[in-house]
Amino acid sequence: MQIIWLGHASFKIVAEGQIIYIDPYAGEDEYYEDIANIILVSHSHVDHCDGRKIGMIKKEDTLMLTTEELVHRFDSVKAIPGKDFISGRIKITVVKAYNTNKPNHPEDFGVGYVIEAEGKKIYFAGDTDLIPEMDNIQADIALLPVGGTYTMNAKEAAKAAVKVKCRLAIPMHWGYGLVGKLYDAEEFKEILIEENINVIILEPGQKVEL
């Protein structure tokens, strides 16, 4: 399994012989050269959903999950929290993602995803605060926003990592000139040292092999 951070909240995952893109937006076009088997979009904000890049990677039989307002735009499938989707040997569970003390991402606006592949669970939190629903999520790897302002900050993201009992956490939603800085990712990592949770801070295009 490979997890590649493309920048901001964009990821490419290679698992079970399939290519998964999450929130295609950030990164150079060369990151989007592989056709997608699965595309997961957390919500409709432009920094999570680039129509041109989606056009580069989507084919007729690509499984694409989006929120309701994007379903017709991309001929995709509505991602409903609690619902599971299967693609070959990969299982995807849609989970909630929302702000509790900010107006940017109200409940039922966006989602997160849990991806099960190769005996591992990857939790992509989406644009969210620390929410009670995380108590019901368990993951081996957590992809968590740390930038604050529109999402959890580093301290809240560290609490989320503990909640979901992950062994590895990768910070996102920082360092792309939008919101969040390297020091947010570093603070996140520093806090989780005491929790014995491994944190890897990636550069855009860098991958983790699992």
Q: pLDDT, tens digit, for every residue of 72-124? A: 999 999 999 999 999 999 999 999 999 999 999 999 999 999 999 999 999 99
Mean per-residue pLDDT, 152-172: 98
| Residue 104, burial from CB neighbour count under 10 angstroms (0-12, 13-18, 19+) | middle
CA distance 49 to 26: 9
Residue spans per domain, the chain = 2-209
pLDDT > 90: what percent of the chain? 97
Residue 179's pLDDT is what?
85
Residue 175's pLDDT is what?
87
**Partners of residue 199 on adjacent β-strands:** 169
Residue 176's pLDDT is what?
80
What is the β-pairing status of strands 168-172 and 198-199?
parallel
- One of 3.30.70.940, 3.40.190.10, 1.10.1040.10, 3.60.15.10 is the CATH number of 2-209, namely 3.60.15.10
Higher pLDDT, 177 or 135: 135
Is the pTM of the predicted complex or chain greater than 0.95? yes
Side chain identity at 184, as an amino acid letter? D
Q: Give, for 191, the enclosing helix (H) or strand (E).
A: helix 182-193
Residue 178's pLDDT is what?
76
